[in-house]
Amino acid sequence: MLSLQNQLLIAMPSLKNSIFERSLIYICEHDKSGAMGLIINRPAGLDVGTLVEQMELSDEIPDFADSPQNQVLIGGPVTPDKGFVLHSPQLYWTTSQKLTDDLMLTTSKDILSSLGSDKAPEKFLVALGYAGWAKDQLEHELAENSWLSVPATPELLFSAELENRWELAMQSLGFNVWQMSSQIGHA
C-alpha cells in the first residue's frame, strides 16, 4: 500500500454538492486501517483571535491581520467540535505528534494560548473537525477518480490565500483539470 501521508488530496471537479467540493485536504495519517486529514481551504467564518477569546485561553488576543493563518478552518465533517492545530515543529510542545520533520499535529488547547506570543509556532493552521476514511475507503475513492494527490508544500499549507489553494494545487500538476474526463478507464 502506498501511503499518502504528507500529501494533499485535491478534490476532482466531479465531487459536487458536498463539503468536499473543490476541497484541498492535507493527509496527516494513512495506513492499512484508514486515513485522516484536514481540509485546508474551507474557512469556518471565525478568526483565531476570536476563538482564543471565546475559549478564554489568553489575556492577549492574537491579531494576525489578513494572514491566512488567522482563519479557523472547517477541517472536515468528523467531530466538528474538536480542534486541531497543524504547526511547524517546536521542542516544547510535548502533546504534539510529529508528522514529518517540518510538521506536527495537536488537539491540545495549550498551543492556542501561545498564538500571538513569542512561544507560538512560526507556522500553524487551526481546524475544527477532520476528514476520515475507513480501511480501503480512500483507495476506493482514488480508483473512482474522486481525488488527485500532490506533495504538501509550506506555501499551500500556510501561506496561500484560502480561496486560491485548490487552484494552486491543481496548477502544480501541470495541466488543466477542467479538460479531464470524470470517466474511469479500464484496460
Instruction: List, in order of start, the domains of the chain with CATH numbers.
Output: 7-179 (3.40.1740.10)
CB 110 within 8 A of CB 95: yes
Q: Where are the beta strands (DSSP E) in 63-123?
A: 71-74, 78-87, 97-98, 104-106
Mean pLDDT in residue range 31-50: 93
Residue with more model confidence, 126 or 116: 126
Mean pLDDT of the chain: 87
pLDDT at 68: 63
Mean pLDDT in residue range 147-175: 93
Query: What is the distance between the alpha carbons of residues 166 and 163, in angstroms, rounded to a whole number?
Result: 7
Residue with more model confidence, 166 or 181: 166
Give 98-103's long-range contacts (Cβ < 8 A, gap of 24+).
99/5, 99/6, 99/28, 99/29, 100/6, 102/154, 103/6, 103/152, 103/157
Q: For 42-70, write each residue's pLDDT tens digit.
A: 999 998 877 877 777 656 655 555 566 78
pLDDT at 166: 96
State pTM to two decimals: 0.89
Residue with more model confidence, 158 or 177: 158
